[in-house]
Amino acid sequence: MASNNDRPVARGAGSERGSDPVARTRGAVRRYPGVLALDHVDFEVHPGEVRALLGKNGAGKSTLIRLLSGVEKADEGTVEIAGTALTGGGSREASQLGVATVYQELSLIPQLSVAENYHLGALPTGRGGLVRTAHMKDAADAALAELGVRVDPGTPVGALPVAEQQMVEIARALRGSPKLLILDEPTSSLAAAAVDVVLQAVTRIAATGVAIIYVSHRLNEIRQIADTASVMRDGRLVETVGTKGASSDDIVSLMLGDAASATEATARRTSAPATDRPVVLSVRELAVPPKVREATFDLHEGEILGIAGVLGSGRSELLRSIAGLQPPASGTLTVFGERLRRWSVRDMIRRGVGFTPEERKTDGIVPLLGVDENIVLADRSSVRRGPLLSGRRQRAAAAKLVSALSVRTPDVGVPVGALSGGNQQKAVIARWLHRGSRILLLDEPTRGVDVQAKAQIYELVRKLADDGVSIVFVSNELEELPLVCSRVVVLRDGAIAAELTGADITESAIFAATLADGTGSAAASTTGESQ
């Protein structure tokens, strides 16, 4: 494919100032096995500009960032920093040219002090090679004060609130006086109230002439700090728009493109919502600080209820709290008519609630044990003979579920760690079916699973619901919610902000509801409002 030179080069507000771009890509292409992650992207950003980078998961934002920060090299096209083309010298080369990146995951060492973290890798030393402690603290203090943060630089970083940790991270990125600062979802792990600190700091940094690329899913934040937003979709830079001019609806439709309407037409769940069926689980004003303020919703028998929300909205925390892993600060839970104020994992299991965690490998499976043992783990009473386990019954019970769920394994005795992610996931679901659970809480059940296995998991979930099992389905991939869910609630700013049912469950409606920016233009804040 030749480079599309006729595509307009994205021009930001900074370009009007007549300055040279800090970073520029020309026809940048990046391929991964089987995926065109970046498709001839022309992008530039100018000094003092705050450029938002928007797009769904997999749209190519992360890839573009990796190219700009030198972590990866473009397969075709050029990447220039301050007028110098990157030659594949890694992140070191890019950082010498003035690129600093703050990734979503914090890279601080919690036990070390703020000052030590700030200087990490370059501690100021004096005579005899000893660390100049006082100087180190002063420098860290001054750097943080510039960003509008006051903390004692001697405090261990782990003792700070997450927002301030984030500020230490940003201050550290600024230590080398970069020309371009890339912030990859800096607020995704923050509670809504703590976001302002970060936003104010970003504005201050931009005022000093640093160019900033700001990745976020929160449209309201972007409106506050960014002049322009580049929207990516399917590896292409679709358009760069002024954030003041474009409505949220415009931006959402740019992000989704035509693809959304296409998938919406296919293979959606057609069965009627089960809201007339009895309520099996009701959650009332559940608070799980800091992210979930008060969540209230019901789950009906045989229903598949999706919970949507942007990364960091507290979806997983909410589900883990219901499962008994994280005691809520307040709120109640009613399970099969029994009202609970406090509950543990084992209480919930006993009442027929099964939870499959997001982190399958660290929380879900026991990799060295066989598929059969993993499946019977939550209930061994039915596979016993007297006080001893019966290997035969164990295998038989597991084999039944292995074939019902089409788990691909040469033998039920195979260590589950040897199976693929999708089959491991099915084994974890099978564990709760073996236990006879009537409510399943599935946290990102298709994460890290191949396309075919995804389809099988959707099929399985629908079949279970038809058999009367009630399911809560949490997913980060919005396009899968319309495929499986009969109802979707959206978690935003710590509460259930929207509910969608039946034909209103579309990717764009969910997407708009998760992003809603307070002006209400795109928010499906009431039941039934569609795109």
Partner 1 sequence: MSSTAQTQTTPAEVQRHVRRLSLSRGVNELGLLAAIIVLYIVLGAKAGGFLTSGNQLGILRDAAQIGIAAWGMTLVIIAGDIDISIGPAVAFGSVMVAKGATSWGLGVPLAVIVTLLIGAAIGAFAGYLRARFNVPSFIATLGVYSALRGLAQFISNALPVPLPDSGFFDFLAGSVAGVPTPAVVMILLLVVFLVIALKTPYGRAVYALGGNPRAAELAGIPVKRIRISLFAVNGLLAAITGVLLAARLGSGNGGSAMGLEFDVIAAVVIGGTALAGGSGSILATALGVIFITLIGNGLVLLGVNQFLQDVVRGVIIVLAVLVNVLLGRRNRLTS
Angle in degrees, 0-180, between the axes of helices 391-404 and 421-435, rounded to the nearest 10: 120
* The token pair that represents 147 in the structure block: 């960003």
Specify the residue, 30 or 46, whose C-beta has the smaller distance to partner 1.
30
Q: Partners of 332 in the beta sheet?
A: 284
Specify the residue, 219 or 419, whose C-beta has the smaller distance to partner 1.
419
- Classify residue 26 by its DSSP letter: E
Shortest CB 425 distance to partner 1, Å = 10
d(CA 440, CA 280): 11
Biggest distance spanned by C-alpha atoms of the chain: 84
Specify the residue, 153 or 186, whose C-beta has the smaller distance to partner 1.
186
Shortest CB 340 distance to partner 1, Å = 16
**Which residue, among 422, 437, 443, 507, has the nearest Cα to 468 in the 3D structure?**
437
- Angle (nearest 5°) at CA 428 between 459 and 346: 125
Shortest CB 136 distance to partner 1, Å = 32
* The token pair that represents 456 in the structure block: 């099988």
Residues forming the site for partner 1 (CB under 8 A): 32, 34-35, 37, 57-63, 323, 325, 345-346, 349-350, 355, 357, 361-369, 373, 377-378, 380-381, 384, 387-389, 408-411, 414-415, 417-424, 431, 446-450, 477
Shortest CB 342 distance to partner 1, Å = 17
What are the angstrom distances between the C-alpha of 397 and each of 164, 386, 403, 459?
51, 17, 10, 22
Shortest CB 364 distance to partner 1, Å = 5
Can you list the pairs that 396-404 forms with residues at least 24 positions away whose Cβ atoms lie under 8 Å? 397/372, 397/434, 398/371, 398/372, 398/430, 398/434, 399/372, 401/375, 401/430, 401/433, 401/434, 402/371, 402/375, 402/427, 402/430, 404/430, 404/433
Specify the residue, 103 or 336, whose C-beta has the smaller distance to partner 1.
103
Shortest CB 320 distance to partner 1, Å = 10
d(CA 109, CA 380): 42
d(CA 293, CA 276): 28
Give the three-class secondary structure for 183: strand
Using an 8 Å Cβ cutoff, are 328 and 285 in contact? no
Shortest CB 66 distance to partner 1, Å = 9
Shortest CB 389 distance to partner 1, Å = 5
Angle in degrees, 0-180, between the axes of helices 248-265 and 507-515, rounded to the nearest 10: 150
- Classify residue 89 by its DSSP letter: -
What are the angstrom distances between the C-alpha of 125 and each of 2, 117, 295, 373, 397?
53, 15, 51, 56, 65
Specify the residue, 14 or 354, whose C-beta has the smaller distance to partner 1.
354
Specify the residue, 35 or 134, whose C-beta has the smaller distance to partner 1.
35
DSSP character string of 249-301: HHHHHHHHHHHHHHHHHSS---SPP-TTSPEEEEEEEEEETTTEEEEEEEEET
* The token pair that represents 331 in the structure block: 């709120």
Specify the residue, 140 or 427, whose C-beta has the smaller distance to partner 1.
427
Shortest CB 146 distance to partner 1, Å = 31
Specify the residue, 300 or 435, whose C-beta has the smaller distance to partner 1.
435
Specify the residue, 18 or 386, whose C-beta has the smaller distance to partner 1.
386
Specify the residue, 479 or 493, whose C-beta has the smaller distance to partner 1.
479
Shortest CB 365 distance to partner 1, Å = 6
